[in-house]
């Protein structure tokens, strides 16, 4: 018997949900390729360990950019690998449900469906990320009640007002965890003339990343390459610097949230004020981002329980619902 499968095909992370088992896989969407033979060497966590540390003949790539497929063949191989790892040999082709950003084009949508079908799906269903995030955050989306969701992933931020199983107003911007990392790299290069890699930038973001000042200062020591001398250099960064470094992407997210609030029908504004804003996705874990959004909108803002897995859990719940109906 085939098991239905739900997939959160994220720019930074892929999560696989199998009916009856829950989330069985959570791995970075990274692939290492031999440039000479075009052969996939490793996928996921193993490939991520190789980022910035490979010889010239090995290329470590992220086949998804800004929430959509940028390298189809690599994405297909990555999908096949993750499905084999999480489900083993599937005798009967399963049904799959995959979440997509709300701003996706028809061509990008088609690429996701084709990749899933070629990876082994019998039938592929799509669900918009903010809707999946809301379901995963245990919000009853079927009620005539407005709920505002802010899903901050690796490549995109989706803001959506949901009521009666539909998205009433939405905004999707290509700003997420990756843009946070890029902003940190730029800041360190500009202020200290030191080049740091993406993995170091992510480490900085996780340890001292801040959208607003912290009550107590935090520090981290990092190493990079001095731009002037070309030699290794160690620097000490503090959390207050990260507030400055991350201001541009954080402001873009706040602007998107405010835009959806402005588009909210008057009857639903009261619901949003009562229910508050719910944040999901890995980017929502940035310290103080919920406070910044609450201050800008005047609406109580909270981070969902288990925000990283919300989209995958919501996609899985929707798939279970589909199974009961069929």
Residue % of the chain over a pLDDT of 90: 85
Q: Taking residues 230-248, what's their average pLDDT?
A: 96
Task: Please say if the pLDDT value at position 249 is more than 60.
Answer: yes
Q: Taking residues 278-304, what's their average pLDDT?
A: 97
Return the CATH superfamily for domain 142-175+248-305: ATPase, nucleotide binding domain (3.30.420.40)
pTM here is 0.92
**pLDDT attached to residue 97:** 95
Q: Taking residues 233-243, what's their average pLDDT?
A: 97
**pLDDT attached to residue 1:** 44
DSSP 174-240: S-SHHHHHHHHHHHHHHHH-EE--HHHHHHHHHHH-BSS--SS--EEEEEEEETTT-SEEEEEEEHH
Cα separations in angstroms, 152 against 63, 187, 270, 319: 19, 22, 24, 22
Three-state DSSP at 259 gives helix
Answer CATH for 5-131+310-325 from 3.40.50.150, 3.30.420.40, 3.40.30.110, 3.30.70.20: 3.30.420.40
Return the CATH superfamily for domain 177-245: ATPase, substrate binding domain, subdomain 4 (3.90.640.10)
184, 205 in Cβ contact below 8 A? Answer: yes
**pLDDT attached to residue 103:** 83
**Each residue of 253-272: pLDDT tens digit?**
999 999 999 999 999 999 99
Residue % of the chain over a pLDDT of 70: 98
**pLDDT attached to residue 2:** 57
Tell me phi and psi for residue 210, to 5 degrees. -150, 135
**pLDDT attached to residue 67:** 84
Task: Please say if the pLDDT value at position 189 is more than 90.
Answer: yes
- Closest listed residue to residue 181, CA positions, set 211, 150, 205: 205
Task: Please say if the pLDDT value at position 78 is more than 80.
Answer: yes
Which band of pLDDT confidence, cut at 50, 70 and 90, is reported for residue 86? confident
Mean pLDDT of the chain: 93
Task: Please say if the pLDDT value at position 326 is more than 70.
Answer: no
Q: Taking residues 101-127, what's their average pLDDT?
A: 93
Q: Taking residues 85-101, what's their average pLDDT?
A: 86
129, 173 in Cβ contact below 8 A? Answer: no
- Closest listed residue to residue 60, CA positions, set 82, 77, 79, 35: 35
**Each residue of 153-187: pLDDT tens digit?**
999 999 999 999 999 999 999 999 999 999 999 99
**pLDDT attached to residue 213:** 94
**pLDDT attached to residue 52:** 81
Q: Where are the domains of the chain?
A: 5-131+310-325, 142-175+248-305, 177-245
Region class of 289: left (phi > 0), else alpha (psi between -120 and 50), else beta: alpha
- Closest listed residue to residue 165, CA positions, set 136, 134, 137: 134
Task: Please say if the pLDDT value at position 66 is more than 90.
Answer: no
Q: Which two tokens stand for residue 55?
A: 């010889």
Region class of 78: left (phi > 0), else alpha (psi between -120 and 50), else beta: alpha
177-245 matches 5-131+310-325 in CATH topology: no
Q: Residue written as tokens 């018997």?
A: 1
Angle between helix 247-263 and helix 289-297 axes, rounded to 10 deg: 40
Cα separations in angstroms, 69 against 43, 151, 293, 315: 16, 19, 30, 19
Task: Please say if the pLDDT value at position 91 is more than 80.
Answer: no
**Each residue of 6-39: pLDDT tens digit?**
999 999 999 999 988 999 999 999 999 999 998 9
Q: Taking residues 121-148, what's their average pLDDT?
A: 95
Task: Please say if the pLDDT value at position 131 is more than 60.
Answer: yes
């Amino acid at each position: 018997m085939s098991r239905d499968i739900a997939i959160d095909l994220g720019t930074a992370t892929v999560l696989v949900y199998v009916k009856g088992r829950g989330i069985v896989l959570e791995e970075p969407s990274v692939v290492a390729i031999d440039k000479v033979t075009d052969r996939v060497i490793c996928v996921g966590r193993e490939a991520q360990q190789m980022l910035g540390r490979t010889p010239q003949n090995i290329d470590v790539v992220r086949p998804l950019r800004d929430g959509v497929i940028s390298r189809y063949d690599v994405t297909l191989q990555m999908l096949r690998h993750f499905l084999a790892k999480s489900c083993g040999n599937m005798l009967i082709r399963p049904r799959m449900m995959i979440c997509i950003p709300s701003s996706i084009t028809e061509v990008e949508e088609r690429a996701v469906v084709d990749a899933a079908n070629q990876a082994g799906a019998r039938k592929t269903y799509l669900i918009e990320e903010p809707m999946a995030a809301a379901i995963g955050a245990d919000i009853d989306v079927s009620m005539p009640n407005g709920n505002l969701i802010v899903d901050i992933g690796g490549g995109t931020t989706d803001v959506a007002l949901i009521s009666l199983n539909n998205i009433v107003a939405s905004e999707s911007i290509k700003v997420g965890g990756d843009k946070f990392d890029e902003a940190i790299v730029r800041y360190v290069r500009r202020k200290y003339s030191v080049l740091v890699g993406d993995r170091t930038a992510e480490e900085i973001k996780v340890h001292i990343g801040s959208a607003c000042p912290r009550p107590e200062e935090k520090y981290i020591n990092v190493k990079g390459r001095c731009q002037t001398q070309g030699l290794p250099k160690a620097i000490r960064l503090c959390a207050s610097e990260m507030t400055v470094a991350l201001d541009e992407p954080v402001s873009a997210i706040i602007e998107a949230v405010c835009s959806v609030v402005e588009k909210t029908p008057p009857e639903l504004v009261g619901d949003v004020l009562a229910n508050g804003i719910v944040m999901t996705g890995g980017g929502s874990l940035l310290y103080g981002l919920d406070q910044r959004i609450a201050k800008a909108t005047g609406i109580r803002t909270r981070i969902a329980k288990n925000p990283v897995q919300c989209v995958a859990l919501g996609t899985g719940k929707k798939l279970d619902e589909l199974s009961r109906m069929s």
